[in-house]
A and B are shown apart, each in its own frame.
Chain A
């Protein structure tokens, strides 16, 4: 079983759509949780941290359920510029090493 599992995708959605990504993790001792986005042939960039209380940043909403070991990301009113691969990331260990999901590719269509 992979440590961090994501929807395989790809997701192809029209502009303005709402899209949801799900992720589960296996290490119950994981300490922090993030969503990163990665554009083609570029480095991952932090999109947002994920907290148990849920957090929102503009059109993006992230949720964490520690009991179910489940993380989600909701994107509302999708823009063409949202097209990217979204990485679910979990940190654990003494140096907060990151474990990445394999990513879900999103394409927003005009």
Chain B
């Protein structure tokens, strides 16, 4: 069966520091991968998606970037965090454009 991992689970970072969040999927090949953010008290917002290695599409202009160095690995990065980057970051995968399944998420607090 398929499994999705995210780490770290929680992170507290100072403003201006870099960020790297990792997501990996097991048990499937060539999944579509997605990064979402949920700010406190708000809905989920799609940040990036990828349909293959090295293919990244951005949904909203922002301080973040994404990369997909391997088939089942998706990384979310920032060179300098802002206070507004705080939130709950969720990675998701789908197969053949069907339902999406979410990882456990990373709760990021920028101070």
Contacts and interface: CB of A to CB of B under 8 A. Distances in A.
By secondary structure, the B interface counts as: strand
Contacts of B99: 32, 34, 46, 49
A46 B106 CA distance: 19
Contacts of A101: 43
A95 interface: yes
Interface residues of A, number: 21
A55 interface: no
Interface of A: 32, 34, 41-46, 49, 87, 91, 94-103
Interface of B: 32, 34, 36, 42-46, 49, 51, 57, 59, 88, 90, 92, 94, 97-105, 107
A25 to B, nearest CB: 13
A100 B104 contact: no
Contact of A99 (B42, B46, B88, B104): B46
Nearest to B88: A41
Contacts of B46: 97-99
Given A49-B99, A95-B32, A100 B43 contact: yes
Given A95-B32, A95-B57, A97-B59, A43 B102 contact: yes
Contacts of B36: 98
B57 A102 contact: no
